[in-house]
Structure 1
């Protein structure tokens, strides 16, 4: 599993560097996919790079930018990679830096490994869930191999003792259901604040103690959440569907997630 972590780290960094070339140097065009979500050349290039790193592992890949295979084929998989080569394309287009590369390894539907790289912020987060720890490292421009990251990373931990409850919300997808959830917490707590953040960085805020809840009452896909769930679960958070109360699982027949809430349970 540690070798897979090294591969995922190097894939994420290589993809992130290619994304930054587009972000800093190109006047890129934006396409709209069938679900009305945006797509840029950076998404496509990052996906190609990540595939080149992950395919030699002989583990199948579910990626936002790969052709979706039928469930009849996928349901036979015991494990798979779940990838979003550019999470937060809207943030990328706005050029606010809050976009990420997400790579997770899932076994029997459960996230076992997660890597989130924010190339514009030069930050990477990662975990092996079985070790019950998550880490954060700065990624200098010359870094590419996993050795540097693994040696320089610092363990991160959530903040569970706080008078003020921070609720992390999306920069682009705040809705009435989320506002209602926040209002209910305000009735129970003395002080509640909302922290806005784009992409899977919302999960990272929880894991490193900058926020306490992440309610998501809106559409997401498996590749939006798998890596973030791995990082959060490693440090004691649960990531559960709001309706059933069951943990989010992966490689489901329908890759679209229901509403969910991330909260601390350890």
Structure 2
């Protein structure tokens, strides 16, 4: 079991994610929200801001000594952040475009980072009332209305020959994704929305690999990384280098890949360059 501190912080994160998720779901079902464009031209909605306010309030009330880094907050500079040995990392709504498009593929992400590594990950999918969560060293879990279970990445029958299931964005060309992979394997594709839900599908064995090309932030991978790693997989930069947290002036991630079965020769399959 997690130590008492991590157990309490996990429950706090789950409660905050669920409360924010229920508020977001109410807005989603009514279809009444305001949409804006951020400086980088990415969309944000009044639902994102509401979720952010709820999560920030809950975490600050319970853990006033732990800093918060959220996509929708003003970001402290590295000169301040480098002194943080522990902090919350939040994406209030991962999949804002999917929320706007009404695909249902959006999630609430909360991670706890300690010593520059995710040690708690919580991802709540409001439309499915489903919570994915993990604590470092304690395994990954999925809780939905009819079950709660430990989850693990799928073990391929033959790591060198079996068909590989690729999670791809609903807005991404299947051919573009396949072109980045070795022609020596056979692939199937599974279209999904948010980055974190694709990662969760790999963690629970519904897909085997996901490559994300394009701009993301550290909040897009923090919770997912803890969950995927505890399920037996990995999240790495597309160059197969480790992702970093709170160690650079920029909070942008490099292109990254989410990998399932570690027995698969992924370096031979993923053709990044």
Structure 1: tracts of 5 or more residues without a match? 141-151
- For residues 122 and 219 of structure 2, what CA distance do their matches in structure 1 show? 12
Are positions 1:13 and 2:18 aligned together? yes
Are positions 1:49 and 2:54 aligned together? yes
**TM-score, normalising length from structure 1?**
0.89
In structure 2, what is the equivalent of residue 88 of structure 1? 95
CA 1:172–1:109 in 2, change beyond 3 Å: closer, same or farther?
Answer: farther
In structure 1, what is the equivalent of residue 171 of structure 2? 172
Map 1:41-190 → 2, pairs under 5 A: 41-55=46-60, 56-57=62-63, 58-131=65-138, 133-139=139-145, 153-162=148-157, 163-174=162-173, 178-182=177-181, 184=182, 187-189=183-185
Q: Could you give the per-residue CA deviations for residues 17-42 of structure 1, whole angstroms, max 9, x where no partner exists?
A: 11012111242221111111111111
Q: Could you give the per-residue CA deviations for residues 205-239 of structure 1, whole angstroms, max 9, x where no partner exists?
A: 10110111111121111111111111001111121
CA 1:59–1:175 in 2, change beyond 3 Å: closer, same or farther?
Answer: farther
Question: 1:174: Cα distance to partner?
Answer: 4.8
Q: Could you give the per-residue CA deviations for residues 104-160 of structure 1, whole angstroms, max 9, x where no partner exists?
A: 0111111101000000111110001211x11111159xxxxxxxxxxx621112111
CA 1:258–1:174 in 2, change beyond 3 Å: closer, same or farther?
Answer: farther
3-state SS of paired residue (1:98):
coil
In structure 1, what is the equivalent of residue 212 of structure 2? 216
**TM-score, normalising length from structure 2?**
0.86
Give the aligned CA root-mean-square deviation in angstroms.
Answer: 1.7
- For residues 109 and 184 of structure 2, what CA distance do their matches in structure 1 show? 34
Are positions 1:38 and 2:33 aligned together? no
